Every structure is written in C-alpha cells, then in structure tokens.
C-alpha cells in the first residue's frame, strides 16, 4: 500500500510541476525527393572557424561541385539557435590553393573547409541549398524532436 501511495505522489508531483519536455528544433538535410540524409540538433553557440561541425556527408565521386566548379569532397553542417530562429552554416571541403581540382579522401591535407552558405530558418522552414551545382540537391528542413 505504501508503495502505491508513493508512486501516486511521484506521478502527481511530476505532473503538477510542469516537467514536460519541450520539443527541440531539429535540422534535417534531405535529398530533392525528401530522403533524410543527415540530421542534427542546433547548438546554443554560434559558428566560428575552428568550431566542430555537427554532421558530415562524404562523397565518393568527383562530380559533386559547387557553382564555381570546385570539386566538393564533403559537405558539413553546423547550426545554432537564436530565439525562435536557427542559423545553419553549410561548409564544404574543397582542394587547397594549388592542388588539383579533384576528389580527395576525407581529412586529406589537400582539403580545406570553407563556408559555402548560411541560412536563417524559422519553425517548419524548408530551404534549398542554392550554392551547390546542379549535380547535387540538398534541402534543409526545420522540424522538432
């Protein structure tokens, strides 16, 4: 009987305290057909050079290029919350100056990470990553979890 009473008190206290979990913003990175490739929880801290990306998509083919024709070996994403908005930075691994414009293995010294684009997204926003060439389509979709 004591155990039942104790359980009832715990459930009642938890329900009355407003201890409900709020949905957190979540960023999905999708293909043009809506297939989720990556997803991540935005951070509280803004992006700065040297800050670790949240997720990465590594390519195995040299036909993924940006609009200027640079071969992209990897796409990286970082996001952070500011109020009810989320800012997402799209980063790419491209050849360093003087290196051949080709695909390199992930984390090769022949690669450098550069910012490709930046988007500020509200709840339920959908944003196509415009700076990619026509060989690849990626879409950012704000959801909650």
The model's pTM is 0.83
Average pLDDT of the residues in 63-89: 96
Q: What is the pLDDT of residues 108-130, one digit of tens each?
A: 999 999 999 999 999 999 999 99
Predicted pLDDT of residue 19:
58
How many angstroms from the chain centroid is the CA of residue 37? 10
Predicted pLDDT of residue 10:
44
Q: What angle do CA 139, 125, 50 make, to 5 degrees?
A: 65
Is 80 exceeded by the pLDDT of residue 46? yes
Is 80 exceeded by the pLDDT of residue 45? yes
Average pLDDT of the residues in 132-140: 91
Average pLDDT of the residues in 79-86: 96
Predicted pLDDT of residue 54:
97
The residues, any chain, with a CB within 8 Å of residue 118's CB and separated by 6 or more, are: 87, 88, 89, 90
């Amino acid at each position: 009987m004591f155990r039942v009473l104790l359980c009832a008190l715990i459930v009642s206290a938890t329900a009355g305290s407003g201890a409900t979990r709020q949905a957190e913003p979540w960023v999905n990175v999708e293909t043009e057909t809506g297939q989720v490739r990556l997803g991540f929880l935005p951070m509280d801290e803004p992006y700065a050079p040297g800050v670790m990306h949240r997720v990465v998509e590594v390519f195995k083919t040299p036909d993924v290029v940006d609009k200027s024709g640079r071969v992209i070996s990897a796409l990286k994403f970082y996001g952070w919350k500011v109020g009810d908005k989320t800012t997402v930075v799209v980063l790419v691994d491209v050849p360093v100056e003087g290196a051949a414009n080709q695909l390199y293995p992930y984390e090769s010294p022949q690669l450098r990470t550069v910012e490709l684009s930046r988007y500020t997204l509200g709840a339920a926003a959908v944003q196509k990553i415009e700076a990619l060439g026509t060989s690849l389509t990626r879409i950012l979709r704000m959801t909650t979890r």
